[in-house]
Amino acid sequence: MSDTKIKIDSLYKIFGNKPKEALEYVKQGVGKDELLEKHNHVLGLSDINIDIEDKSIQVIMGLSGSGKSTLIRHINRLIEPTAGNVLVDGSDVLQYDEATLRDFRRTRTAMVFQRFALMPHMTILKNVSLGLELQGKKDDEILNSAMKWIEKVGLNGYEDRYPQHLSGGMQQRVGLARALTNDTDILLMDEAFSALDPLIRKDMQDILLNLQAELHKTVVFITHDLDEALKIGDRIAILKDGIMDQEGLPVDILLSPKTEYVSNFVEDVNRSRVLKAKHIMEKANGSDLSKGMPVDENDFIESFIDRVVAEKPELIVVQDSDKKNIGSLTSKRLSEVLKK
Amino acid sequence: MSFFSEIPTMGRESLRDFKKGIDLNFKEFSRNYGDGIEGFFDPLLMFLVWLEKLLVNSPWPLVILVLAGLAWIGSRNWKLVAGTIVCFMLIGYFGMWKDTMSTIAIISVATLVCISIGIPLGILMSRSRKLEAGITPILDVMQTVPSFVYLIPIIMLLGIGKVPGLIAVCIYAVPPIVRLTNLGIREVDKECLEAVDSFGATSWQRLTRVQMPLALPTIFAGVNQTIMMALAMVVIASMIGVRGLGVPVLRAVSNQYLALGMLNGLAIVALAIIFDRVSQQYGKRLQKHREGRNL
Ligand SMILES: Nc1ncnc2c1ncn2[C@@H]1O[C@H](COP(=O)(O)OP(=O)(O)OP(=O)(O)O)[C@@H](O)[C@H]1O
Ligand SMILES: [Mg+2]
């Protein structure tokens, strides 16, 4: 396990006039509905604990109103918590004074928004330059970085257009370029792709994964779509009514959901399409793996299931990109996983 | 029984003393501070006099050329420019040139004063609920109190002349720009603000880079209204010594000169229409730029 980049520690957020008072009720176990009915406060988040690994993509998932946006906004302190701590690289974000917080937002975090939140009065170039301009960087430096990222997200030629002229997918690429131009180590994405059509959405997911393979940022990615979560996330946290129901590897969430809410979420998923060989393999432990049917660790089950049915191999050998054998799979295990 | 037929009053004696007390106190105040306050407005007076002289003394073709040029810059519309030229030629033809120039001078200065007070005030208002709640009723009062009522203390304080006239015009004309600046800033998309905050903007950067530009069309609608209201005040302002188109209108009223009143009235209307159309077109262009024209 590598280092923790962002540590969220017993975080509570209650919306209302007297959140501190309401906090006591919540700590005594009062739920979201009761808190609203009896005490007229909205429970945003209750006792959230997550350690977000450095250079990983942490997905936060949940239905509408479950507190996802509230949670991600605590990381750059767009929202102040009612109780709890947010630590980034071990330093407490909540202790920052105004200037330190501003500096932290400028250089450490960048955010991509669900409805893009581009500036309608600025050209694409100006939008992408925004972060660096606020920092007062030199003009040519700003222009260079902005053009680089505009190109990377495939929008060259559109620099002088205004956001209104672009389709949703293009606008969100501007949003992504705007965030990446700041060159921060943390990227916060609040349902960044939810407003897009399925095809464009898939495009954007691929763009993100390709960029991540190159940039290795710590990404906090919010979605209410399980397929997206499974595709993108290194780990997934599931929120319900402000409470974290489960947090773990995608495969664990899929194969052993802890609560009914989570199992409802995962029951309709086509597992052969979202699980990769590496998710369900048994790690190599010295036994002989030379005789099995080889598959790549990143192959989805779907892509080799037909071969398994046809060839009926005794063992399926999972290899990494260097063709090194890293694990194995029996057809029994395979059918178990798919049947569940 | 008499309780129901007659409303309780404070009594004639005490009412008279009450009013007298206020009057005396205010007179005392104006005797002590009137000159100082007048001195405070001196630079404004000098500017107004300079502008008026400039407009009146410059050769008329030059003035029309400049006005037509401004109309073009504002509206980019040939019809409006042609209309402007024709209107001013007619105004001159019917002998109202000087008065019209005086009116333009005071309207311009009043508008500048209103902008430089109104926009900052509107910005402050947009930043605090309390301030908004405090200022809004004052603006309501300024717009509804009959202007004659606040003319009285102004005259007592500053006498008759250009400065009190200017102040009266400004009191009447400033509310819309304050209101619309406040409204425009409050209406700015919350998500844009959140975005600019998330990139670490200072509150000044947030104001100048996002709030003001996005509020500009609304603020401009306020400027437009302010100009219109200032024009509507010219007749009343001329009662306390402001030169311009209001003076002949007043003369026409007291002497029953129908034609004189009509002509000068029409000149005011013509100015209003020109100012309104040009500034509206300009406002629209601001908005268009926002949507981008270069598709
Ligand atoms: N400023 C606020 N005042 C009061 N309640 C709020 C506020 N912001 C959020 N809430 C409440 O907190 C809860 C969580 O909201 P949040 O926006 O975090 O949900 P979400 O998971 O992001 O939902 P969505 O998928 O719709 O974006 C909701 O019940 C919402 O009504
Ligand atoms: Mg949300």
The answer to whether B190 faces chain A, any CB pair under 8 Å, is no
Residue A319 CB burial class (10 angstroms; 0-12, 13-18, ≥19): buried
The answer to whether A164 faces chain B, any CB pair under 8 Å, is yes
How many Å lie between the alpha carbon of B192 and the closest alpha carbon of chain A?
5
- Which band of pLDDT confidence, cut at 50, 70 and 90, is reported for residue B295? very low
pLDDT in the model for residue B209: 95
Checking if the pLDDT of A272 tops 50, the result is yes
What's A190's DSSP letter?
S
Mutate to test the pocket of ligand 1, among A66, A222, A265 (most ligand atoms within 8 A of CB): A66
Share of chain A above pLDDT 70, in %: 99
Q: What is the mean pLDDT of residues A56-78?
A: 94
* pTM of the predicted structure, to 2 decimals: 0.86
Which of B 68-97 lie inside 8 A of A, CB atoms? none
Which CA distances in Å does A103 have to A99, A134, A135, A301, B208? 6, 11, 9, 45, 19
Report whether B267 contacts B96 (CB < 8 A).
Answer: yes
What 3-state class would DSSP assign to A61? strand
Q: Which of B116, B54, B195 is nearest to A119 (CA)?
A: B195
Distance of CA A247 to the CA centre of its chain: 12
Report ipTM (2 d.p.): 0.86
**3-class secondary structure per residue, A256-319:** CCCCHHHHHHHHCCCHHHHCEHHHHCEECCCCCCCCCEEEECCCEHHHHHHHHHHHCCCCEEEE
Distance CA A307, CA B166 (A): 90
From chain A, the residues in CB contact with B292 under 8 A are: 123, 161-162, 164-165
pLDDT in the model for residue B293: 44
Q: Is the CB of A70 under 6 A from ligand 1?
A: yes
Tell me which residue has its CA closest to atom 24 in ligand 1: A64
Residues with CB under 5 A from ligand 2 (ion): A 69
Alpha carbon of A46 to ligand 1 centroid (Å): 13
- Which band of pLDDT confidence, cut at 50, 70 and 90, is reported for residue A2? low
A187 backbone dihedrals φ, ψ, rounded to 5°: -120, 125
Q: What is the mean pLDDT of residues A293-298?
A: 88
Q: What is the mean pLDDT of residues B180-198?
A: 96
Checking if the pLDDT of B267 tops 90, the result is yes
Report whether B238 contacts B244 (CB < 8 A).
Answer: yes
Q: Is the CB of A106 under 6 A from ligand 1?
A: no
pLDDT tens digits, one per residue of A78-133:
999 999 999 999 999 999 999 999 999 999 999 999 999 999 999 999 999 999 99
Q: Over the range B139-177, which residues count as b (16 or more CB within 10 Å of their CB) and which as e?
A: beebeeeebeebbeebbbbbeeebbbbbbbbbbbbbbbb
Q: What is the mean pLDDT of residues B158-175?
A: 91
* A-B Cβ pairs (cutoff 8 Å, strict): 76
pLDDT in the model for residue A336: 84
Q: Identify the weakest region by mean pLDDT among A36-50, B192-206, B232-246.
A: B232-246
Distance CA A238, CA A249 (A): 11
- Which band of pLDDT confidence, cut at 50, 70 and 90, is reported for residue B288? low
Q: Is the CB of A65 under 6 A from ligand 1?
A: yes
Task: For chain B, give the mean pLDDT.
Answer: 91
Report whether A281 contacts A289 (CB < 8 A).
Answer: no
Checking if the pLDDT of A76 tops 60, the result is yes
How many Å lie between the alpha carbon of B207 and the closest alpha carbon of chain A?
12
pLDDT in the model for residue A163: 93
Mutate to test the pocket of ligand 1, among A68, A112, A243 (most ligand atoms within 8 A of CB): A68
Atom of ligand 1 nearest to the CA of A62: 21
Task: For chain A, give the mean pLDDT.
Answer: 91
Atom of ligand 1 nearest to the CA of A67: 18
Concatenate the DSSP letters of all residues of B24-80 into one string.
HHHHHHHHHHHHHHHHHTHHHHHHHHHHHHHHHHS-HHHHHHHHHHHHHHHH--HHH
Mutate to test the pocket of ligand 1, among A12, A14, A15, A26 (most ligand atoms within 8 A of CB): A15
Taking CA–CA distances from A108, the nearest residue in chain B reads B199
Q: What is the mean pLDDT of residues B65-76?
A: 93
Checking if the pLDDT of A279 tops 90, the result is no
- Helix %, strand %, coil % of chain A (to 5): 45, 25, 35
What 3-state class would DSSP assign to A242? coil
pLDDT in the model for residue B289: 57
From chain A, the residues in CB contact with B201 under 8 A are: 102, 134
Mutate which: A78, A115, A119, vs B, most B CBs within 10 A: A119
Share of chain B above pLDDT 90, in %: 69
Q: What is the mean pLDDT of residues A137-161?
A: 94
Residue type, B193: L
Domains of chain A: 4-108+184-269 (3.40.50.300), 273-339 (3.90.1280.20)
Q: Is the CB of A69 under 6 A from ligand 1?
A: yes
pLDDT tens digits, one per residue of A177-204:
999 999 999 999 999 999 888 888 998 9
Checking if the pLDDT of A48 tops 90, the result is yes
The answer to whether B294 faces chain A, any CB pair under 8 Å, is yes
Max Cα-Cα span within chain B: 80
Checking if the pLDDT of A1 tops 70, the result is no
Which of B 196-215 lie inside 8 A of A, CB atoms? 196-202, 205, 209-210, 213-214
- Which band of pLDDT confidence, cut at 50, 70 and 90, is reported for residue B186? very high
Q: What is the mean pLDDT of residues B154-166?
A: 88
pLDDT in the model for residue B1: 64
pLDDT in the model for residue B34: 83
